[in-house]
Amino acid sequence: MLRWIIFLVIFTIVDVYAFQAFKTVSKNNWLHILYWLIAVLVVGNFVYNFYGFNRSNGFTVANSYAIGFLIAITIPKMILLLGMLAEDIFRVPQAIYRYFTEGETAKGNYFPSRRQFVSQIAMGLAAIPLASVLYGIYKGKYNFKVLKYTLTFEDLPQAFDGYKITQISDIHSGSFDDVEKVKYAVNLVNEQQSDVILFTGDMVNNKAEEMHPYLDVFNKLYAKDGKFSVLGNHDYGDYVTWDSEAAKHQNLEDLKAIQKQIGFDLLLNEHRYIEKDGEKIALLGVENWGTGGFKQAGDLKKAAQNIKATDFKVLMSHDPTHWEKKVVNDDYHYHLTLSGHTHGMQFGIEIPGWFKWSPAKWRYKYWAGIYNNMGQYINVNRGFGYLAFPGRVGIWPEITVIELKKGTKAT
């Protein structure tokens, strides 16, 4: 209860201060009422959805929208707050000066009026994140982008020159709210006509049943050499409360069965060979391995049993920290690792080929796109779905297409 009281007190203080800019720009009482009505509805909806939150139910679509709308109004109000505080740097000294120089003649009103242009600038700046967040909720979360890369390797078997891999990651089916948009994305994957489809974990938020509405959607995915997958941290059901360990275990078994039902060959610290024209490449998949409290069930050595050091290797590992901490320095040379997990924090700014930024960089060294270290590549997919915040701003849902080429220089 105490944390909720503190939350409401802080939010009220921010709201009252931000309102100073709003009422300086507009004297319309109806707009003032609308300002507070929206604030009460959004905060009330957030409290309603999270007060007494039941972990056994998991994180619902309603929960995510409660967070989304709270973020949508909070970020602009923080900008207004900063604008008003910046103006008060000048207003407060003026008020103190008037107190000591004008005394009773000021009739207690020592503060100069707020300048309208300052409030107008603050509101203009606040409108940018407001519009961006609302767009991210309404459109951005389904604004699928196909990102294509060509990677060249000297030791790629000749038969695999031009081989195409489509990677998707972080479906998070429990967050979806539009089946038709998901169908569109699945069709977009198939349109790439890649040789193989690789899914790098987090099919659900928490429970296998989240996939039930989408079984007939994802089973339409097709690639001539098959579909392969690994587990992500959310697939184990670690973030909800279960009636028993047996129920949690059964949930994981149900998810494994679902992956098989929709045509994925789930690799649990295992490998497969993909053969073509008498040559082959090794495809390895490990269970989740991460740092910072994430499950470390991934076993690279087990997955690589009976794999030759000279084999060309593609590794699927959900969390990119596994590549950073274990894979790059392994005795074996893993030519290409495919990961996801970060979502690019679903927020950032990207100008392809020029600039890339997200708060994710403060948590992950490798957080989105292609990286190269010691002659080994990793692609960190930005994710197919979304989690918690029901949208994406600047970091769009991703379908990755990687073409393998044989050559003397990596590109």
pLDDT at site 411 = 43
Q: What is the pLDDT of residues 143-184, one digit of tens each?
A: 999 999 999 999 999 999 999 999 999 999 999 999 999 999
pLDDT at site 105 = 60
Instruction: Give the pLDDT band (50/70/90) at residue 410.
Output: very low
Q: What is the pLDDT of residues 278-297, one digit of tens each?
A: 999 999 999 999 999 999 99
pLDDT at site 89 = 83
Instruction: Give the pLDDT band (50/70/90) at residue 107.
Output: low
pTM for the full predicted model? 0.92
- Rounded to whole angstroms, the Cα distance separating 54 from 65 reads 17
Share above pLDDT 90 across residues of the chain, in percent, rounded to a whole number: 80
| Mean pLDDT of the chain, nearest integer | 93
Q: What is the pLDDT of residues 110-147, one digit of tens each?
A: 666 777 888 899 999 999 999 999 999 999 999 999 99
Q: Half-sphere exposure of 403 toward its Cβ, with a 13 Å CA cutoff?
A: 11
| Mean pLDDT value of segment 40-65 | 88
Domains contained in the chain, CATH given: 2-138 (no CATH), 144-406 (3.60.21.10)
What angle in degrees, to the nearest 10, is found between the helix axes of 29-50 and 2-25? 160
Res 96 pLDDT > 70 = yes
Instruction: Give the pLDDT band (50/70/90) at residue 91.
Output: confident
Share above pLDDT 70 across residues of the chain, in percent, rounded to a whole number: 97
pLDDT at site 112 = 67
Nearest residue to 234 (alpha-carbon basis) of 176, 185, 171, 292: 171
pLDDT at site 204 = 98
Q: What is the pLDDT of residues 312-325, one digit of tens each?
A: 999 999 999 999 99
Nearest residue to 14 (alpha-carbon basis) of 70, 80, 112: 80
pLDDT at site 104 = 61
pLDDT at site 323 = 98
pLDDT at site 113 = 73
| Mean pLDDT value of segment 349-378 | 94
Instruction: Give the pLDDT band (50/70/90) at residue 93.
Output: confident
Instruction: Give the pLDDT band (50/70/90) at residue 97.
Output: confident
Which of 14-28, 81-95, 103-117, 207-221 is the least confident region? 103-117
Instruction: Give the pLDDT band (50/70/90) at residue 53.
Output: confident
